[in-house]
Chains A and B, each alone.
Chain A
Amino acid sequence: MFVFFSTCTVYLVLFGSTQADENSCGLSMTWLETVSVTMDVSKNGFHRDLVTTVDFGPGFPDGLEALLVHRLPSGIYIDQYQLASLKEDTGLQVLLGSAVDLEAPAHTSEEFLVLVYPALDQGILKATLPIHGRYHKPSLAGKRFELVEIKLPKLILRTDTCTQLISFPPYKIVDAPCTVHNLSICQWLEIQHLQEQDPVSLEIPLGDGSLVEPVCAGTLLVTLLCCVILSRSIWMHGVFLDNVILI
């Protein structure tokens, strides 16, 4: 009897002490502090890959779902049709916050939201998002490249086993689609201590606005020259025959 009682007490003490450290969703404070997000841009030119990696310590909770909330600048765009094709090929799961105009230049476009559901790849969560640079307004000051900055995404987490997230300060609770199929909204935990990394940036080449006069003059001169040469050739070798007005 006494053994049972003491066992119960020990068990209660142990259970009680972890109560403050873990909420009912299996996400422990200590484990959450090991989570970090890194972002990198690979490739060159107008077509790049945005690689986001979520690192964490041991003790990966069962049924953990992660969601990266990217707020992408107007200087780049994402091709939703390319995403649809990649979804079939590589399983990339992405939800676009709004329709993206594939052809508009940067100064007529806006920031947009992208939700990426990273996949587990050899013990880390990773997602590779193909992004494309937009054409920017030509520079007047001789600047040859425009720096487009991409801020770190927000990371939000939840577990499958969870139906109701209890408030778990300092982490905020946010609502977001449960899966990429966007059929229902779930509650997620926002991990906020990650904002230490500097934003990544990529360079987009710019036209040189200071050359507008020589370019216009040069273009019109060459096209006029070609027009004159062709006209002369047509005039000399043309079979005008029935066109009385010119003969």
Chain B
Amino acid sequence: MASIMERVLSKLMNKNVLFTVSFLVRLVLVSFGVYQDRTMVVKYTDVDYHVFTDASKFITQGQSPYHRSTYRYTPLLAWILTPNVYLSHVFGKLLFITCDVLSGHLIYLILRQRGLSCKAACRVCSLWLLNPLPAGVSSRGNAESVLTALVLATLLCLELRQIPMAAILYGLAVHMKIYPVTYALPIALSLQRKENVEERGVGWWRRALGFPLRLLNKELFLFAGVAGVVFCGLTVLFYNMYGWDFLQETYLYHLTRRDIRHNFSPYFYMLYLTADSPWSLALGLAAFLPQALLLFLVSLAFHTDLAFCCFLHTAIFVSFNKVCTSQYFLWYLCLFPLVLPRLTLSPKQGVELLALWFAGQGIWLAPAYYLEFEGYNTFLLIWLAGLMFLIINSFIMVQIITHYKPPDTTQRLKAE
């Protein structure tokens, strides 16, 4: 039995087989979803997918997609999904699963670029491609895979030093969802001109003065310029088409969002209890400071490995955010396969950390279920579970940071 499993697994770790199988699995899930929606009361398709399709319908009628209440995304998404209305309701899902498999392919390319063998890269990629979480999310009609594909493509282009292309993809990614804007600092730091031998020899204060000059170089201006043009261009275009609604729903809502309903965030109960109090603003700021500080530190500490830096960035951003839902986990899970080859954790330790992460979610989900579907007053338990989840996430991140081994510095310097 074990040898059969081994043979199957080794056949699967062939690149073409792996990608084909992943796509077919997702296709099967989409088909099952169509069947389930038609025959059962509990639907497979996520509510968000209906929101996107309704917004696309408004666009085909020449109206604003923001007429659809709770549509809080860029109009670009509704535009891309207009074939849902013209061709088939299932077009969007097919697009999302394609982006999902494309994300896997981008992970593969980045890993190969970093020197992994084909087989090793396939093994690491399979963590994403054969993972039920992203497969389930994209087959249910969530658009997260579009964003993960954009972020991974940006990282690949930066790895290949294709600055203009990276900037276009980055501008597009930030337009679609705000959180990639936090990558600006690590990207800027990674684009700085490296010190040459003479510069290393002078006193620290002279090196400190030289730092801004090395940071503000041609590549950074090119990146910032192109990304800025793409982002501002799209903003101006959609503002002209849809007015204030576009800015409000796509950006301002997410920036000022105070969802007092229960979610994974450690701040949920505090924000619910202080929603109408005069302390609300001060507490919001207090919640923002740890996030900002950690993001700044991580940018300085790990910008040499952009994928690792972005992974930590997003993991910290999501864990310390005022609102946290399970969809956000995909934002950093897509970067985890890039981080894995540089971790010195044993498989046993890895599995233990994974189990701990799931246990943290389970501890929260149990009282949340009893609150929402059974009507028990479990607010205190949910609050404590939220704090526990933050502690678990922090512990896991510390383990990852402690077991991170950067690529050999002397080799890098020699290469330069």
Contact = CB atoms under 8 A, between A and B. Distances in A.
Contacts of A204: 375
Nearest to B298: A234
Given A223-B290, A238-B302, A233 B401 contact: yes
A230 B279 CA distance: 27
A237 B294 CA distance: 14
Nearest to B51: A81
Interface string A203-224: 1111111011001101110111
B272 interface: yes
A27 B223 CA distance: 78
A144 interface: yes
Interface residues of A, number: 53
Given A81-B47, A223-B290, A223-B390, A215 B273 contact: yes
B204 A244 contact: yes
B301 A240 contact: yes
Contact of B273 (A145, A209, A230): A209
Contacts of B119: none
B70 A102 contact: yes
B273 A207 contact: yes
Contact of A45 (B195, B298, B373): B373
B316 interface: yes
B404 A219 contact: no
A246 B391 CA distance: 28
A142 B12 CA distance: 59
A216 B268 CA distance: 10
A237 B414 CA distance: 23
Interface in B175-214: 189, 192, 194-195, 204, 207-208, 210-211, 214
A226 interface: yes
Interface string B287-306: 10010011001101110110
Contact of A239 (B207, B273, B294, B302): B302
Given A205-B371, A222-B387, A242 B298 contact: no
Nearest to A244: B207
B372 A46 contact: yes
Interface string B367-402: 000011111111110010001001100100110011
A82 B98 CA distance: 29
B340 interface: no
B269 interface: yes
A231 B270 CA distance: 24
Interface in A177-233: 203-209, 211-212, 215-216, 218-220, 222-224, 226-227, 229-231, 233
A45 B287 CA distance: 30
B266 interface: yes
A215 B394 contact: no
A222 B390 contact: yes
Nearest to B212: A245
A204 B274 CA distance: 19
Contact of B294 (A89, A99, A216, A230): A230
A157 to B, nearest CB: 31
Contacts of A145: 377
B204 A247 contact: yes
B293 A135 contact: no
Contact of B274 (A44, A216, A237): A216
A203 B371 CA distance: 11
B406 A215 contact: no
B260 A135 contact: yes
Q: Taking each of A89, A99, A144, A239, which has the highest tally of chain B beta carbons within 10 Å of its own beta carbon? A: A239
A245 B298 CA distance: 15
Contacts of A87: none
Contact of A47 (B275, B298, B304, B372): B372
13 contacts: A44-B373, A45-B371, A45-B372, A46-B372, A211-B380, A215-B383, A222-B391, A223-B266, A230-B316, A230-B401, A239-B406, A242-B189, A242-B214
Interface of A: 44-47, 81, 85, 89, 99, 101-103, 105, 135, 137-138, 144-145, 203-209, 211-212, 215-216, 218-220, 222-224, 226-227, 229-231, 233-235, 237-247
Given A216-B283, A223-B266, A226-B394, 14 more contacts: A44-B374, A45-B374, A85-B43, A203-B375, A207-B269, A218-B387, A220-B286, A227-B294, A227-B320, A230-B401, A237-B301, A239-B304, A241-B409, A246-B300
